[in-house]
């Protein structure tokens, strides 16, 4: 079975090279790697192309400046059986790609999500990661949902399933993964959680703008309390939406 890695990027020159280094060390090498740039203003593309001799690399440009649009662009170009979406600031272990692919095949599911870690040792970050992982692990048992809740930053999905649900909504710049999951539910997409496959994400936003602001930004807008209380409070406090930096 074949796997294409899809990495949306916007001004990721300080992070994406580390992810590429991890990809070169994979026991199971991906069949292709698509870096989809959202019109970066730094050296992201230069860093990406420096790995062209080490990885089966393709550099594309998203039509819209959003992660959703970038993921769709990569998925449309990929010819593989599986799509592995990864955020540019992720770090992965050498067995990562192989574990996810083996889980999908052995468990006969369309989607496999890994366990997430957050870099650093701040108690709030560690607790946040554990809460998310436990929620994903028990999600299907509690709500009897087949799809998990981490469909954005790190997820393996079959190419067929991605196109069956219509891909990501390119018009959404926030919570496009939540919308993606809701459509998974409608199409009864099967999912598994692989505790042994670990992806470590950066805590840069928490460090740069504070953990309270980062927490508020992460609460989906489809909740009544978010729309009517949290977002108005954020505006008064001067806390901008998560993707305001893409304006």
Q: How confident is the model at residue 1 (pLDDT cuts 50, 70, 90)?
A: confident
Q: In the predicted model, what is the mean pLDDT of residues 230-242?
A: 74
Q: What is the pLDDT of residues 131-144, one digit of tens each?
A: 666 665 555 444 44
Query: Which domain, by its residues, includes 9?
Result: 3-202
Based on the domain organization, do 19 and 79 belong to the same domain?
yes
Question: Looking at the 3D structure of the chain, how many domains does it have?
Answer: 2
Q: In the predicted model, what is the mean pLDDT of residues 9-21?
A: 94
How many Å apart are CA 155 and CA 61, to the nearest integer?
21
Based on the domain organization, do 100 and 10 belong to the same domain?
yes
pLDDT at 159 over 90: yes
Determine the pLDDT at residue 144.
Answer: 44
Based on the domain organization, do 107 and 227 belong to the same domain?
no
* SS3 annotation, 18-57: HHHHHHHCCCCCCCEEEEEECCCCCCHHHHHHCCCCCCCE
Domain with residue 11: its CATH number is 3.90.550.10
Q: Report phi then psi at 20, rounded to 5.
A: -60, -40
Q: Over pLDDT 70: what percentage of the chain?
A: 79
Q: In the predicted model, what is the mean pLDDT of residues 19-43?
A: 95
Q: Could you tell me which residues are beta bridge partners of residue 91? A: 200
Determine the pLDDT at residue 152.
Answer: 64
68's enclosing H/E stretch is helix 67-77
**Does the predicted TM-score (pTM) go above 0.85?**
no
Based on the domain organization, do 66 and 37 belong to the same domain?
yes
Based on the domain organization, do 179 and 215 belong to the same domain?
no
CB–CB of 83/162 below 8 Å?
yes
Determine the pLDDT at residue 59.
Answer: 95
How high does pLDDT run on average in the chain? 83
How many Å apart are CA 37 and CA 48, to the nearest integer?
10
Determine the pLDDT at residue 207.
Answer: 64
């Amino acid at each position: 079975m074949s796997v294409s890695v899809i990495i949306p990027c916007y001004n990721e020159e300080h992070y994406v090279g580390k992810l590429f280094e991890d990809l070169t060390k994979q026991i199971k090498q991906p069949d292709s790697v698509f870096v989809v740039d959202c019109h970066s203003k730094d050296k992201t593309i230069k860093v990406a192309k420096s790995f062209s001799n080490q990885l089966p690399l393709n550099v594309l440009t998203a039509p819209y400046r959003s992660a959703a649009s970038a993921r769709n662009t990569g998925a449309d170009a990929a010819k593989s059986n599986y799509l592995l979406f990864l955020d540019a600031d992720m770090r992965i272990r050498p067995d990562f790609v192989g574990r996810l692919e083996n889980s999908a095949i052995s468990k006969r599911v369309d989607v496999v999500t890994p366990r997430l870690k957050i870099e650093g040792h701040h108690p709030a970050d560690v607790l946040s990661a554990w809460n998310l992982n436990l929620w994903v692990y028990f999600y299907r048992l509690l709500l009897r949902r087949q799809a998990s809740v981490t469909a954005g930053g790190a997820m393996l999905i079959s190419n067929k399933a991605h196109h069956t649900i219509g891909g990501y909504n390119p018009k959404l710049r926030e919570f496009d993964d939540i919308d993606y999951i809701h459509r998974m539910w409608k199409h009864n997409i099967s999912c598994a959680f692989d505790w042994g496959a670990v992806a470590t994400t950066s805590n840069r936003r928490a460090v740069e703008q504070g953990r309270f602001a980062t927490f508020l930004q992460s609460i989906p807008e489809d909740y009544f309390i978010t729309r009517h209380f949290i977002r108005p409070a954020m505006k008064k406090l001067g806390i901008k939406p998560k993707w305001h930096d893409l304006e």
